[in-house]
Amino acid sequence: MSGRGSNVVTSALVIVTVVLLVPLVTVLFFKDGLYYPQLTVTTAQTVDAEFLFNGRKSEASCKKLIDNIVNGIVSVCPACQIKEKECAPSLEVFQRRALSSDPLPIPSSRIPDGVVLYQSTQPHIALSACMETQRLSAARNSSDRVTCFQPHNMRPFTVPRSQVDSAAFFASVWFAAVSCAICWLICLVLVRYQRFHGHISMDAIEGGPQKFHAVATPRIGGVAILIALLFTGAGLVPVEQRFSIEEYGYLILAALPAFAGGFAEDITKKIGVLPRLACTMAAAALCSWLLAAVLRRLDIPMVDPLLLWTPLAVAFTIFAVGGVANAINIIDGYNGLVGGYAILVLAAISWVATQVGDMFILTAALSMAGALVGFLVWNYPKGRIFLGDGGAYFLGFWLAELSVLLVARHPTVSPWFPLLLLLYPVFETIFSIYRRKVCRGCNPGHPDALHFHQLIYMRLARLGVGSRDAKTLTIRNSAVAGYIWTANSFFIIPAISFWNNTAALASVALIFCCAYTWLYNRLIRWRAPRWLIMSPKN
């Protein structure tokens, strides 16, 4: 294809993506995709108690919750009057703030999955009603106690009990094993019969500064991962009630544009970064609509109030998901590097998902982790098949969306938890843009051989330097992954330990950025610590 033809194809893809993206985003601005149960009760003491709950995915479940609350109130307080009840399609700014940990000007009680706001013409009566609710809750000796917060005080979330029992957890592990087996089998077929597709799927050993493999290799491993997750979804059908096949299906459906944009590059070698990024952002917009995957808090005081405005929150989420997916693609340069790193991230997400009782996120994370294990059998250490752009964007989208969903669905999870998990590719991307644009005055999108993982290859993995033997090159290539896995483990472990502590997570993130910058400067100046260098002498 000529350069002009390539430009035409690229322009067409950008136009089509924008045409698909604009209506999706427009719909999102007017629809959250959830129903928020709201109920206002007037007590005998002329106090209005407004019950406000997190969103429900269907109007029927919303109405059922309201009816249960009404029946409970009438049975214990016959004098109370139901003033208002509805399933609202969206929340006002103050209501979103009420569901957060921010202080409020009125008394409020934290209840399971929601809050109660107390209002009266006499503030001391409203506060008394709030405190009485807490006292009665404590007297019942219930595990779900109500906590009353006075006006203008921070309202921290308590960590809920895990709702993932052992049977459900081991069922998720079983689905991960199925995903692993299927991915391994598909990779076997792709590697064994590469003579039938190699003319379009092979990644040559020449053609760019980021080629470090010894022989031409298929770059369509993402196909195997996608098929494995599709089969896993089919296996969830018999147990739909427990594992939410609808949400799982929505996640895969939303991921398809991200995969398609990268896969088109794997096949044609003509798709630029902008169209691939646009496809991923379209996928993020679709997921925001289907699963209400929208980031509305970052635990940053000056930023969080802005994210209460839905259009800005949606736009930020789309940008963040697209950026993470692109960052995962950037670090995908050596055998096993991205696959092993992603497994560590998914394991951390799975652990926190069990703590907050989210079966869907747990199953989605373990299924992807299982598929990656099956892929790594062929990718690490020998590099028989690569993820390719399709697999990298698909994996990056999956990691980003699970992170967004974990924060959006569970207020106890700090948004800095997934940020710390994904800080390596994110900071690598930001640092690369700074290095190219500011330090060198180059185009930020122009590829080079100065990424962190490439410096590890050139400065630390010194096995067989200068050799052109395929086996030696493959060993040296695979050594890079061990450095990345080990380094990131030192930061993923604290992320798991402090998953609901923003201050601790932010501190660890700062340490990571300082450590990364220090080591990068040492490597670029050929002053690497001797104990890190892997060479025949060592």
Say if residue 137 is in the same domain as residue 197: no
Q: Are residues 122 and 207 in the same domain?
A: no
Could you tell me the mean pLDDT of each successive run of 10 residues in the chain, 538 residues long?
48 47 43 76 84 83 89 82 87 79 87 87 90 80 74 74 67 90 95 90 63 71 95 70 72 94 91 91 92 89 85 93 95 92 97 89 95 96 92 97 93 93 96 84 75 89 71 84 94 94 94 95 90 72
Cβ contacts of 287 within 8 Å, gap of 6 or more: 250, 251, 254, 255, 293, 321, 401, 404
Distance CA 156, CA 108 (A): 12
* 172 and 121 in a common domain: no
Residue 269: its pLDDT value, please?
86
Q: Are residues 225 and 335 in the same domain?
A: yes
Statement to judge: residues 65 and 184 lie in one domain: no
Residue 23, domain member (yes or no): no
Of 475, 432, 188, 478, give the one whose Cα is nearest residue 339.
478
pLDDT recorded at residue 528? 85
Both 203 and 132 in one domain: the answer is: no
- Same domain? For 132 and 201 the reply is no
Secondary structure, 3-state, 295-362: CCCCCCCCCHHHHCCHHHHHHHHHHHHHHHHHHHHHHCCCCCHHHHHHHHHHHHHHHHHHHHCCHHHH
Q: What does 436-466 look like in DSSP terms, one character per residue?
A: IIIIS---TTS--S-SHHHHIIIIIB-TTTT
In a domain, 232, yes or no: yes
Q: Is residue 47 part of a domain?
A: yes
434 part of a folded domain: yes
Instruction: Verify that 85 and 143 share a domain, yes or no.
Output: yes
Asked if residue 213 is part of any domain, the answer here is: yes
* 87 and 185 part of one domain: no
At which of 121, 149, 177 does a domain end?
149
* DSSP string across 253-264: HHHHHHHHHHHH
List the beta strands (DSSP E) in 173-245: 202-203, 217-218
Identity (one letter) of the amino acid at 321? V
Task: Please give the pLDDT value at position 205.
Answer: 64
State the residue range of the domain holding 51.
36-149
**In contact, 182 and 227? CB cutoff 8 Å:** yes
Domain count, the chain: 2
Q: Do residues 105 and 247 share a domain?
A: no
- 195 and 237 in one domain? yes
Model pTM above 0.85: no
Rounded distance between C-alpha atoms, residue 14 and residue 154, angstroms: 45
Residues 139 and 229 in one domain: no
Say if CB 222 and CB 378 are below 8 A apart.
no
**Is 354 domain-assigned?**
yes
pLDDT at 26: 41
Amino acid 442 reads C
Domain boundary (90, 116, 149) is at: 149
Q: Tokens 């670090």 — which residue?
A: 331
**156 in any annotated domain:** no
CB count within 10 Å of CB 143 equals 8
What secondary structure does DSSP assign to 485-500, as a single string? Answer: HHHHHHHHHHHHHTTT
Using the 3D structure, point to which of 87, 120, 149 is the last residue of a domain: 149
User: Is 15 a member of any domain?
Assistant: no
* pLDDT in the model for residue 523: 93
